Amino acid sequence: MHLALLITLLLLASAAAVLTISLATVAYFKMFRRRKPFGGCFGGSDDFEMGPARARVADGPGTEPEKGNPAPKQAAVPRLMGWAEVESATGKFSPSAVVGEGGSSTVYLARFPDSSLAALKLHRPSERLHHAFRQELDLLLRLCHPHIVRLLGYCDDREAEGALVFEYVPNGSLHEKLHGGGAEVLPWARRVAVAHQVAQALDYLHEGCDPQVVHGDVKAANVLLDGRMEAKLCDFGSARVGFSAAVAPPRPGGTMVVGSPGYVDPHYLRSGMISKKSDVYSFGVLLLELVTGAEAFDAERERRLTADMAPVLRDVEVRAAEVVDPGLAGEYDAGEVAKVLGMAAMCLGDNPSLRPSMSHVVRMLQEKTAASIGAVAVCCGGKHQL
């Protein structure tokens, strides 16, 4: 009897071990299947990982794009470049090749042996700035969206310097088009289309990335216009990864403010907390610029556009026509102007929790400015047209 009991117990133990191994195997393969599609945008099937966090950079093959965002195109993996190639492409960092200057970097027009052009961002040498370069590179390698400027290559073989090489975007920035004093005025329909494209890019950062990304410096100067006059969001040097990022509240003479004058979320200035709703606030300022043609911050008067527009935003339906960019010469949809200003007022709300999400903004633009967005898509036919 004892022998029979012993045999029974042994059989039960063996069965339990087999069941445990089977369950563990099933769990492992389920996890493996979940992780494989993350190659997305860069065309691979393996996880694309830089640093401790991992991010899905695009929808997998055969899936529908989320929240109305256009499906990302397949793109080549950004390539690692040598310092000699970087020097050669910029004419050994010739002053004549400089197209932009920032607080921590210089942007050069780079020319490669195949005659292709690119924008090369060179971070100035310092240990602190090189850490910022690594953070920006880490993030850019995860991103892929048709309305985010594409990283083509990078060089990180110098101890305190780094270079990022971006696609060439020939039509300058939205800031230049709105405030540069050129002969051409950006038409109303194109302004609405640009707003819609920037909103899609921010929606992708906020909801399409894992972990989500806060851009941190949404402004007209960081919206580039390609050969078809479509928007490309750029400059991720201030970006934060995660639900929100607590930083020290800015103080006079102390910590630098994250963001640019006229665009900075007042809630951040009070609390030191950066979140997705900080980007929403900055996007609201961008909407005001597109409607009025005025700059976000008037340096001569030291006056913010949001302050000037506050009375109008409290009575949009009546006062919208008062603030439309005179450069449009009356060629705009008055109903759409009022609706865009209404959306701007929502984005600029003092309480971040009451501001809309960028996915909501995308839907509102699609619904309330459909005529202008559709007109741009039809009239341009994929060609450059103002």
Active site residues: 217
Distances (CA, A) of 76 to 39, 42, 115, 327, 358: 11, 6, 18, 41, 28
| Structure tokens given for 59 | 């929808």
Residue 305 host element (H or E) = helix 305-313
Distance between CA atoms of residues 88 and 108, nearest Å: 12
Nearest to 224 by CA among 121, 308, 298: 121
C-beta of residue 142 within 8 angstroms of C-beta of residue 132: no
- Tokens 């479509």 locate to 230
Distance between CA atoms of residues 372 and 223, nearest Å: 19
Strand ranges inside the chain, DSSP E:
79-80, 98-101, 105-111, 117-123, 151-155, 162-167, 213-214, 223-225, 231-233, 240-241, 244-246, 273-275, 297-298, 303-304
Neighbours of 179 (CB within 10 A): 16
Cα Rg of the chain (Å, integer): 25
Distance between CA atoms of residues 203 and 105, nearest Å: 27
